[in-house]
Amino acid sequence: MHQLLSLLLHSSHCVFLSGAGISTLSGIPDFRGSKGIYKQFDADKIFDIHYFRKDPAYFYTHGREFIYNLEEKEPNIIHKMLAKLEDEGMVKSMITQNIDMLHQKAGSRRVIEIHGSPAQHTCLHCGKKFPYELISPIVHGPQVVPKCDGCGGLVKPDIIFFGEMLDQDTLSQAISESSKADLMVVVGSSLVVHPAASLPLNTVKHGGRLIIVNNMPTPLDEYAYLRYPDLEEVFRYLEKEIR
């Protein structure tokens, strides 16, 4: 692991890419793991924009258990170390597939959320914005499905659902950062969902090095300069070495 540390210390533009695996330590279920969200709910419905428009109560009712309880979740050692590495100038940006807002809670400032975030909600009819703090109590109340107080339209979190376009500005930033990176470290992502799955290849294509820390194999393992299976072990080591 001293090799990893040395690369972190000497890289000039290090970018991290994080996935659901880093938040399981905070008690947030991942999507595709053995206790993942997709084992508990119908994946075709829960984040599908067409189904959401038809039956938003399905999303909001189940969302109580893994989105509208995020105020109770705390960043773990991985989120905290990543924020510290940014403070120390060793990380230029965080690209994340996560929608749990824990990087920001831990203090990371440059966070590129490629799948969006529930921090904001938008009325699908008039575009009015509503913060998470306003929506969460409604979801837990008798109404469950939040409606726009301006026009009565359906309100949806700014999470990218299946059937929706990614935010093009966000995607451009992620591509630009991964292309500029001389070191990309993937943490807790199995790299099966696009565009996250292809971002590390931008780094490799431009001559940067790729490190993968994940408990399961990924399709990009053959491109990895270093590969570690245990996130917690790696971050305990970094915590000890970087003070």
By CB under 5 A, tell whether 125 contacts Zn ion. Answer: yes
Contacts with Zn ion: how many residues (CB under 5 A)?
A: 8
Closer to Zn ion by CB, 45 or 128: give it.
128
Greatest Cα-to-Cα distance within the chain, rounded to the nearest angstrom: 57
Query: Residue 145 CB, nearest distance to Zn ion (Å)?
Result: 14
Select from 64-72, 81-89, 144-152, 222-230 the region that touches Zn ion (CB under 5 A). Answer: 144-152
For the record, the structure tokens of 68 come out as: 């509208």
Which of 79, 103, 115, 121 is catalytic? The answer is: 115
By CB under 5 A, tell whether 148 contacts Zn ion. Answer: yes
* Number of continuous H segments (helices) and E segments (strands) in the chain: 11, 9
Closest to 60 in 3D by CA, of 51, 48, 68: 68
Q: How far is CA 142 from CA 41, 151, 179, 218, in A?
A: 22, 20, 47, 43
Interface residue with Zn ion, options 128, 180, 227, 236 (CB under 5 A): 128
**Does 115 participate in catalysis according to the annotation?**
yes
Instruction: Answer left, alpha or beta for residue 144, where phi above 0 means left and psi between -120 and 50 means alpha.
Output: left
Q: Which of residues 151-190 bind Zn ion (CB under 5 A)?
A: 151, 153
Select from 42-50, 80-88, 124-132, 193-201 the region that touches Zn ion (CB under 5 A). Answer: 124-132
Stated as kind and residue range, the H or E segment containing 227 is: strand 226-228
The secondary structure of residue 162, as a DSSP letter, is B
- DSSP strand pairing (93-96 vs 14-18): parallel
Query: Residue 119 CB, nearest distance to Zn ion (Å)?
Result: 18
How many CB atoms are closer than 10 A to CB 69? 15
Closer to Zn ion by CB, 27 or 150: give it.
150
By CB under 5 A, tell whether 150 contacts Zn ion. Answer: yes
Closer to Zn ion by CB, 70 or 148: give it.
148
For the record, the structure tokens of 215 come out as: 């408990």
Closer to Zn ion by CB, 105 or 128: give it.
128
The catalytic residues are 115
Interface with Zn ion (CB under 5 A): 123, 125-126, 128, 148, 150-151, 153
